A and B are shown apart, each in its own frame.
Chain A
């Protein structure tokens, strides 16, 4: 065995590059580490944190809302008193130990809305990016709890913070309840954050009531009439947000008024909460928030045709195309038919499948019944190449590309 062949078959990695005046390039087939070893290299989480880092000097958010009331010392005292009462309650102890204690969810919820609720609702609204898309870099705590419910066929559909209400359930304008101090004016605006057809940074205003005396929404000045939700088919879930503003004085909203004949004009209903608030920030303070999500349903076809007087737009999600590596002149160890099909126009392939199918279709007779045992069908010719046999079998079993034309 020559020295050369011995080197070639050796498993040592430390062979010198020059042996006997010849240059020998030896591939190292062992374990390779790319980059720093795991203990030293940063983890994916650390790297993502570094990439997504935002300078707090530049990216900070402003609280534009009313201050959240903090419990004072007297509250602490009364809480201790309540706890002592609970400790003495024999009945409660019995229920607790027998696992039959059930707290009243409605009362708990009402207490929560006036204590931790505003902070929690702000978190979930941030999760839905409500503040970012309404006010940009500003946020507020919804300290005024609102009770909003749509009424449809004697069923109430309440609005909370992200629940789903169908368009057919939101045809009639909702009832709005909140508690207000005396001699205060409010503004209530309902907008769709996701529905604008032409400009993504804009919203459609669905309802606008200004100068509401205390909590009587019906006595307020209706600037924009209520319009039901109409998320187009295929665009998924849209967010609809009610924002309640506290006014410092009576405001003039005549520039937002829509004439009665153009009540269904979407161009007229184009709205930007950010621009609206920026102009009136001295007189308005956001105080309440409720939002819901809505999804296309069959009742909207008629609404688009009769009310909006437009053809119902239908969309479909556009997935990223799959990665197909560049074609090679000599693709080794690839099935030639499947490999070449990847680089052909899929429309042409589908056309060929369709032509093959139509060959056996009679224009006036019924379609032949489906083959009961596709794998037991005899072959039409004595010799068919194996790749073609496979293709025929796949088509008979409705596997693969045949599904695109069926």
Chain B
């Protein structure tokens, strides 16, 4: 199992002082200078992971870690969460039997509201609490608008924070580090 360089490389800030005598303690091993976190979602959660930048003239819908997609067919509605690299990672559809059998119609406003609730719940369970959404509903009382409302009510933000870029010595300001705000 090889570990690529793109994983988080983390250095200790303070050296290990001899607070605990090495003979008496159970964990007397020396902690190395670098620590590698293999979690592929870690850096994205900390806001420092790579996010495709695109070009300033590019059409919206390219800059995201996770984004919400809705596909309406003539009979069913399918909503999914896409990752910029891994593609579709979560999906909910009114054609799924557990949802379908509880609905009267599969692509009306009620179906969309319930689909939004189900997908929102699955996102929370999968630890995805922020997704980019580039869908703009035409009708504010239509199916898509109701879907987004129900999805948001489950506790998911429809906007992702920008990628944190480290401040350089010549920069004007030093923005707060997101992982220090969390503490």
B57: which A residues are within 8 A, CB to CB? none
Q: Is B172 interfacial (CB 8 A cutoff)?
A: yes
Known: A92-B104, A404-B169. A112 touches B8 (CB 8 A): no
Known: A163-B124, A401-B169. A129 touches B29 (CB 8 A): no
Interface size class of B (residues with CB under 8 A): 35 or more
A310 touches B38 (CB 8 A): no
Say which residue of A102, A163, A234, A400 sits within 8 Å of B114 (CB atoms): A102
The residue in A193, A235, A265 that gathers the most chain B C-beta atoms within 10 A of its C-beta is A235
Q: Is A49 interfacial (CB 8 A cutoff)?
A: no
Stretch in contact with the other chain, from A175-183, A194-202, A217-225, A357-365: A194-202
Say which residue of B1, B45, B105 sits within 8 Å of A237 (CB atoms): B45
Known: A101-B103, A115-B98. A124 touches B126 (CB 8 A): yes
| CB proximity of A299 to chain B, nearest CB, Å | 12
Residue of B with least CB distance to A292: B127
Interface string of A242-262 (1 = CB under 8 A from B): 000000000000000000001
A338 touches B32 (CB 8 A): no
User: In the bound complex, how far is the Cα of B13 from the Cα of A336, in angstroms?
Assistant: 33
Residue of A with least CB distance to B25: A309
Known: A298-B183, A316-B10. A238 touches B39 (CB 8 A): yes
11 A/B residue pairs, CB under 8 Å, sorted by A:
A86-B101, A96-B108, A103-B99, A111-B101, A127-B41, A127-B89, A194-B39, A238-B39, A293-B39, A308-B26, A401-B169
B-to-A contact residues, CB < 8 Å: 1, 3, 8-14, 16-17, 19-20, 24-27, 29, 31-32, 34-43, 45-46, 48, 83, 86, 88-91, 96-105, 108-111, 113-114, 117-118, 121-122, 124-128, 146, 166, 168-174, 179, 182-183
Question: Beyond the given A99-B110, A193-B39, could you list 6 further A-B residue pairs with CB under 8 A, ordered by the A residue number?
Answer: A83-B100, A101-B103, A120-B90, A161-B125, A314-B13, A317-B46
